[in-house]
Amino acid sequence: MAGRKFFVGGNWKMNGTIESGKKLVETIKSAKLDSNTEVVIAPPAIHLLLVKDALSGVEHVQVSGQNAYHKASGAFTGEVSVTQLQDAGIPWVILGHSERRTVFKETDDQTAEKTKAALDAGLSVIVCVGETLDEREKNESVNVVVRQLNAVADQVKDWTKVVVAYEPVWAIGTGKVATAEQAQEVHAAIRKWASDKLGQSAAESLRIIYGGSVAAKNCKELATQNDIDGFLVGGASLKPEFTEIVNARL
């Protein structure tokens, strides 16, 4: 709200084929999407250029990497660099996703280093934060996201090209969506953190989006919350209902 453009990301994770990716793009192209919403699709790296080309000319819809390495080039077998994304015309990258943190053991500092490198390369970044179930039960949710954000803020001073995604780990892929109140509480705490750390005007323009079991049936209520500026959608971004989530504010 407060003049921030609504933002909906579709994180396809490691799903799909060339055929299914093309079909999803067709669904997006044929839908009537809210022109006040910025949409970013993050297909697997091998499908990035295909999806980018298929979406060319579609207004308000861009593509994103799901991860990137901070070095520009070199002997890093299997990695794709921030510079290579930029060179390929991919304007966004998701960094610090909880699956990168938990499955691939990426640390707060690595996420921060990648965020800095991506911004330096000219990309925009969706940086993900969120607590585990254990941390929530210990009342640590805000402390955890603040710790994760502080690591990024130690290296990144200008947040104008950053979107923060609050994705509680316990809500990802589980069908257990955070209630609107639970999500709003952490989003407000993130905005307060941003105001203290980055200044009031940066905090007011920072988009803070929610991720974790977002679906057509729960997106409208979440979208009414003051500090929820959009969504990062996993499972439902692989289905036609994604377009309903894009239109959550209509």
Ligand X SMILES: O=C(CO)COP(=O)(O)O
Q: Is 238 an interacting residue with respect to ligand X (CB under 6 A)?
A: no
Among 212, 219, 230, 245, binds ligand X (CB under 6 A): 212
Quick check: is 244 catalytic? no
H-state helical runs in the chain: 18-30, 48-54, 82-87, 98-102, 108-120, 133-137, 141-155, 180-198, 200-205, 216-223, 242-246
3-state class percentages of the chain: helix first, strand second, coil last, to nearest 5:
45, 15, 40
Q: Is 232 an interacting residue with respect to ligand X (CB under 6 A)?
A: yes
Site for ligand X in 94-133 (CB under 6 A): 97
Q: Is 230 an interacting residue with respect to ligand X (CB under 6 A)?
A: no
CB closer to ligand X, 190 vs 233: 233
Quick check: is 97 catalytic? yes
How many residues make up the chain in this entry?
250
Among 7, 8, 11, 148, binds ligand X (CB under 6 A): 11
User: At residue 81, what are phi and psi to the nearest 5 degrees?
Assistant: -90, 160
Residue whose Cβ sits closest to ligand X:
234
CB closer to ligand X, 129 vs 236: 236
CB closer to ligand X, 43 vs 235: 235
CB closer to ligand X, 83 vs 212: 212
Among 86, 148, 213, 243, binds ligand X (CB under 6 A): 213
Q: Which of 47, 70, 97, 187 is catalytic?
A: 97
DSSP letter (8 states) at residue 167: -
Residues 195-226 as b or e (16 or more Cβ within 10 Å = b): eeebeeebbebbbbbbbbbbbbebbeebbebe
Site for ligand X in 168-187 (CB under 6 A): 172-173
**Closest separation in Å from C-beta 210 to ligand X:** 9
177 and 213 Cβ atoms separated by less than 8 Å:
yes
Q: Is 199 an interacting residue with respect to ligand X (CB under 6 A)?
A: no
